[in-house]
Homo-oligomer: A and B are copies of this chain.
């Protein structure tokens, strides 16, 4: 671990000594990220605002467009990815599959409507702006994908992850990811000048759905069968087992065309079946407590405000934000209407944050030359506003709904 450091480069002037200042940079930027997460998370909590809001804003503050203390480099992006994986793993650990299954119909409806409506709105707005078909489709796709990590953390912080509306959000997020990634594959194909046949689309969909079904259908009986053996493991060893299962399913889920966070969530749900009998959750929680805030700050780091050039871009971004909110809220209100207006509204608002997912779609489109810099900036503003405002609204609405509503268990 001993590496030659910047100072030595100064002193000796040798290129050799300068060659590995990487370690120092890495630790400094991680230090700033963790410091910013702690301080802004604390300030947010004191203000009665979800900590994630403080942490995303902290990321913008220390990021390239303002203080420039940290940049979203490969290491921080990878660590953030790991943070999201452990966050959803932890959320899975707090979720019972049977509760999720109980709201399956609502979740499916919310997910489908929450994809169709924003896609249509985004596509329409893109065409209205004079973008080409594929560019407009990319904007629509960027409006589709919910960042479930943001909402899940807010719900976890409020202690209402097991409420019925929260379960609908989690279930819808899984389906949203399956459909959203399939859509992205189709749209990316179009971007590369290839149109995908129905068989290909069915294959992608089938693999994703099959993977989710397989993990749950095989994992849940298996974990119950191994429960007596797991109970004999020491805490340290059971922690290892949990981590290996979580990372393994997360990695495998990417092979099935899903986001790793979905695999982590599924793995968490499988392990949740035995967590009352087998102790390991507290250790996973410590890991998550370190890594998840890094994820939120890194979302902020990626929100480079300097791309927001002209007033036209800002106005277009605001319109896109309104469409993004309408799309998910209407999707929630319609899809979960059987639960009553108040709960359905909570579901809709919970689906609003686009977070890192919208950014990835937009970056892919920008990198491939499908959307231009202005369109990218509009999407970025939409991501910023939905990510910061939805948690605030969710908290206010959940408080207003009162304890009975949020305590309605699945």
Contact = CB atoms under 8 A, between A and B. Distances in A.
14 contacts: A1-B259, A2-B259, A5-B254, A5-B255, A6-B255, A7-B256, A8-B204, A11-B196, A14-B192, A20-B364, A30-B251, A239-B289, A283-B286, A284-B286
Given A12-B192, A189-B17, A244-B38, A5 B257 contact: yes
Interface in A5-28: 5-8, 11-17, 19-21, 23-24, 26-28
Contacts of A38: 237, 240-241, 243-244
B194 A13 contact: yes
A153 to B, nearest CB: 13
Interface in A176-231: 177, 180-181, 184-186, 188-189, 191-192, 194, 196, 200, 203-204, 207
A34 interface: yes
Nearest to A243: B34
A270 to B, nearest CB: 16
Contact of A188 (B16, B241, B283): B16
Given A188-B14, A203-B11, A244-B35, A24 B181 contact: no
Interface size class of A (residues with CB under 8 A): 35 or more
Contacts of A79: 79
Interface string A253-272: 01111111100000000000
A368 interface: yes
Given A11-B204, A14-B188, A247 B2 contact: no
Interface string A67-96: 000000011001101101100000000000
A203 B82 CA distance: 40
A357 interface: yes
Contacts of A19: 364, 367
What 6 A-B pairs come out closest when comparing CB atoms? A286-B286, A14-B192, A24-B254, A27-B251, A38-B240, A2-B259
Contact of A357 (B1, B5, B24, B84): B1
A184 B4 contact: yes
A402 to B, nearest CB: 27
